[in-house]
Amino acid sequence: MDSAKRILHVDMDAFFASVEQLDDPSLRGKPVIVGKGDRGVVSAASYEARVYGVRSAMPVVQARKLCPQGIFVGGRMSRYAEVSRQVMAVLGEFSPLVEQASVDEAYVDITGTRTLFGPPRKLAEALQARVREATGLSCSVGVAPVKFLAKIASDFRKPSGVTIIEPEDVAAFLQDLPVGKIPGVGGKTLPRLAQLGVRTCGEVLRYSRQFWEEHLGEWGRVLHQRAQGLGSAELTPHSEMKSSSAENTFAKDVSDEEELKRWLLRQSERVGRDLRKHGLQGRTVTLKLKFEDFKHITRSRTLAEPIDTDLEIFRTACDLLDQTERRKRIRLIGVGVSNFGGGSAQLSLMPDENRERLKRLDKAVDSIRDRHGRSLIKRGKLFEGDQ
């Protein structure tokens, strides 16, 4: 019986754009780009758009220049999350050990599943078929002895590809693999490696671990290990939620305090609702600001008691904003709540007798919005004008 470790990585193909093409058949076969606004960035691009050089994280303005005929659409995170849940449910049919890495990718431990599903390639193809049956979408799959290699493999034959790296083939696979394919090797590290004449994983091993530690510190040790195919094969099936946050980038830089607080209220409602949905309360509220010169700062406050009410989150965020020196206009504002497990306290802004009333109010608002949509009910005159 084959007991060698087998980690499968699933990566949905152009996920956000593919969902848009799935829901609107008129978009199929066309260059669809998820991202709008002159200040926005591309969240996803269909393969038809990628032909023109459009990539995720690219400024929308640049994407328009590369692909003027592109169809630009706004993102629908709730819809993407819905499809993501369907995908994860399918993965659970093949193994109880599933680690979701993001909304569109996950690791699956398929060690010991040969008796049930056959060899890795047969399982991978069966999994792809089930994902397509359940969602109408395609995915690419990589299988390897460790997680980082499985992730690299899943990107090899996109879209709809399957790449298997057997344990005995790891060294040969890595020998000529561009070092930039290793997760974590990015724009800062690549030039340094090129200066040393290192462009492939095989060339990394020309030098000792000590050499890499001297040049790159702890990351040098990791790089040397990964060039040998060494890495983690342990999955964390249930990743606990560490924080909840919401942020917005403005179309034009903002200095008006009332407008900033109007956005903070909207974001506080989103965060509060998310906390209540997951049955969580947090004690640390964090304000995030990015200025017109792209400098960003965060300011946090830890409260005496955990909170999940919109108004308490909002008041704390406003207090942090009031205490923050702002000589430049604001490009982005956001608020988050964390510290679900406790910690040292500073102060609380809300008397206990008011908290239960706020909880009842939030619960009622959540119920109305669940039934009739978010736009039906708004809080106070801070929301005068359009959201």
Active site residue ranges: 105
What ranges in 92-217 are assigned the alpha helix state H? 114-117, 120-135, 147-154, 170-175, 189-195, 201-204, 209-216
- 339: its two tokens: 């510290």
- 305: its two tokens: 């008691």
Report the residue count for the chain: 387
SS3 298: strand
Q: HEC profile for 136-164?
A: CCCEEEEEECCHHHHHHHHCCCCCCCEEE
Question: Residues near 293 by Cβ (< 8 Å), separated by ≥ 6?
Answer: 328
- 359: its two tokens: 């909880």
SS3 53: coil
- 139: its two tokens: 């995915």
Whether the Cβ atoms of residue 169 and residue 163 lie closer than 8 Å to each other: no
What is the separation, in whole angstroms, between the first and last Cα of the chain? Answer: 60
Sheet holding 71-73, edge to edge: 44-45, 32-34, 71-73
- 179 CB burial (10 A radius; 0-12, 13-18, 19+): buried
Angle between helices 209-216 and 218-227 (to 10 degrees): 140
**Residue (of 89, 68, 98, 132) closest to 7 by Cα position:** 98
List 332's β-bridge partners, or say none.
Answer: 249, 290
Question: Residues near 187 by Cβ (< 8 Å), separated by ≥ 6?
Answer: none
